[in-house]
Amino acid sequence: MTNEEKSKLALEYLEMAKKSENVKPFESSHYFRKALMFFRDIGDSANQQICKTALTDQNQKAAEGFEKFTWTDTVQQCELDRILEGYREDKEIESILMRIGLDPLLCPPYDSIVNLAKNSIPVTLAFVSLTTQSPSGHLLPEGSSASEVWFSEMYKMNDARRCTYFQHLWQFLVTEKGLTLDKLLDYIERLGLFDPEDLFFIKKGLERFFSRDYVSSIHILIPRIENVFMKIAAGLEIDSIALDRSRPGELVTREKMMSSDFLMSSGVSDVFGRNFCGFIDFLLTKPLGHNLRNRMAHGDLLSGECSESNCLSLIYMLLIFSTNFSKKLIYRPYLI
């Protein structure tokens, strides 16, 4: 198809989009998206800007008319009690925290969820034009892939159950085992993984959590968790340095950023374990997951996401780091 033919099609789609704009926003966003693809191909920046602005606006308006659904997953009390079986006998907080950091049952089984999603994907998803958008109307990467979207939904359900398990275990630690901020900090500090700067911010984040200031806690802990993860990766001789190609002719290096591609690459997931990397990816970086790291960096976090549950997930990550990669313990890959 020539650029002239693409331009003609793009203008036709743009006209159709404008006719249904604000009247049928779902239909209008579809045509704006089609037009934008052609304008992008031919390098028409002026019309690209028109389509991008209108597309996000119509996506937001279309979302107001979407049917919303919820699901519930009942966890039996006997199932919750089984989670605690291995911990009731321990009298020492340090021993319990160490066991939590080594417990594979508290991390969603990544490959099992991949297979489950692959074998249970609804047939209808293969016959529809699929897009996934953020609350602000932007199209998300992999949002048009039926398999990726369905996997994300399956993972969300598994992760919700993990959250329930860990919240139950946390309440047990606080109410029955007497876990306090000081005891948690003492455990983390004595294992010697975190350097003084990281430890300073981790302490502040945990202090805010125990004060129920989840907004502050989540904003403090997420950047430090990324920093710690990348330091551990570098210490394990994983390539964590990138060449900055944004300045042609100049050699510039920088630390690689935590991303889905980095976390799920074989060089990283083979060392840290696919379950753990998948857990970090879904919570912090995956566009179709919670994506807390990136959305926090751009000011897109919703107030409801600054929750006790998400903070506990971050604390669980810290326990895995401390227990598995401590300088005072023999290194053991978290291969679960």
14, 95, 109, 294 from 24: Cα distances, Å = 14, 60, 42, 31
Residue 336 confidence (pLDDT) above 60: no
Q: Which residues pair with 243 in a beta bridge?
A: 253
**Per-residue model confidence as pLDDT tens digits over 67-78:** 676 767 777 888
**Per-residue model confidence as pLDDT tens digits over 165-188:** 899 999 999 999 999 999 999 999
Q: How confident is the model at residue 334 (pLDDT cuts 50, 70, 90)?
A: very low
**CA 334/CA 104 separation, integer angstroms:** 9
Q: Is 0.75 surpassed by the pTM of this model?
A: yes
Question: Which residues fall within 8 angstroms of residue 90, CB to CB, at 6 or more apart?
Answer: 96, 99
**Per-residue model confidence as pLDDT tens digits over 206-222:** 999 999 999 999 999 99
pLDDT at 327: 54
**Per-residue model confidence as pLDDT tens digits over 221-234:** 999 999 999 989 98
Taking residues 78-95, report their average pLDDT.
83
**CA 172/CA 84 separation, integer angstroms:** 8
Quickly count: other Cβ atoms within 10 Å of residue 128's Cβ.
9
**Per-residue model confidence as pLDDT tens digits over 11-61:** 999 999 999 988 899 899 999 999 999 999 999 999 999 999 999 999 989
Classify residue 309 as exposed, middle or buried by CB count within 10 Å of its CB (0-12, 13-18, 19+).
middle
